[in-house]
Amino acid sequence: MTEEGILKTGTTTIGLKLKDGVILASDQRATMQNLIASSSVQKVYPLSDNIGMTIAGVVGDAQLMVRFMQSEISIYSMKKGGPMPVKTAATLVGSVIRQGFYLGLIVGGHDHTGGHVFSIDGAGGCIEDDYISVGSGSLFALGALEAAYKPDLSKKEGIDIAITALNSSRKRDSASGDGMIIAYIGPKGFEWIPQDQIKERCAEIGFNYPN
């Protein structure tokens, strides 16, 4: 397949540390150059009960990485008799991505030390932070995150900030748009935020969905 025909997520993905857990979020647009190839792409994935990952980059590479990590974490849990720590998962992703995956990823989750989010770049760099955005719309999302973030956010506050950041990127980045996917990972595990709840929060904040 030529470079022009590769399906890419374009994208805005977000990782956000809360008082007791993390938020992972993304838009749902996939592009091939200036073509909007899909408006319903999944860019947030559960890797285990306590860890998730967002994807930006080549779709085929991303899906392969998700399957690989789900398998490796499952094997780890069976051998160790417990969940993989979030930092261990992020470090493993950073090691694997160096083999030639065209991706920018966020790994986030909750373990015995609390909530953590890590950005993973294509060279294998693994950096932990309180809030992260990866993808073509990240510049616009980061401005919103910078303005709104504060320590010890509640789950509700985290959802609202993620929606605000996604809205900023979707208004300015042509490769980001359409729907929103948001997940919360806390002490009880991975939880999808229902679409009707996301739409309700958009309306209360003052955004149209989709816009």
Mean pLDDT (whole number) for 140-163: 95
All residues at 6 or more sequence positions from 134 whose CB lies less than 8 Å from its CB, including other chains = 11, 13, 54, 56, 104, 105, 106, 119
Q: What mean pLDDT is reported for the chain?
A: 91
pLDDT at 178 over 90: no
Q: Which listed residue (2, 9, 11, 91) is catalytic? A: 11
Tens digit of pLDDT for each residue in 47-102? 999 999 999 988 889 999 999 999 999 999 999 999 999 999 999 999 999 888 98
Q: What was the pLDDT predicted at 6? A: 54
Q: What percent of the chain has pLDDT over 90?
A: 73
181 — phi, psi (to 5°)? -120, 130
Ranges of H-type helices in 7-149? 59-80, 86-97, 138-148
pLDDT at 188 over 70: yes
pLDDT at 125 over 80: yes
Mean pLDDT (whole number) for 110-139: 94
The CATH topology of domain 3-203 is Glutamine Phosphoribosylpyrophosphate, subunit 1, domain 1 (3.60.20)
Mean pLDDT (whole number) for 126-154: 94
pLDDT at 3 over 50: no
Percentages of the chain per state (helix, strand, coil), in multiples of 5:
35, 30, 30
Q: pTM to 2 decimals?
A: 0.92
Mean pLDDT (whole number) for 201-209: 89
> What are the boundaries of each domain within the chain?
3-203
CB 118 within 8 A of CB 86: yes
In the chain, what is the greatest distance between 2 CA atoms, to the nearest angstrom?
Answer: 48
Based on the residue annotation, tell me whether 11 is a catalytic residue of this protein. Answer: yes
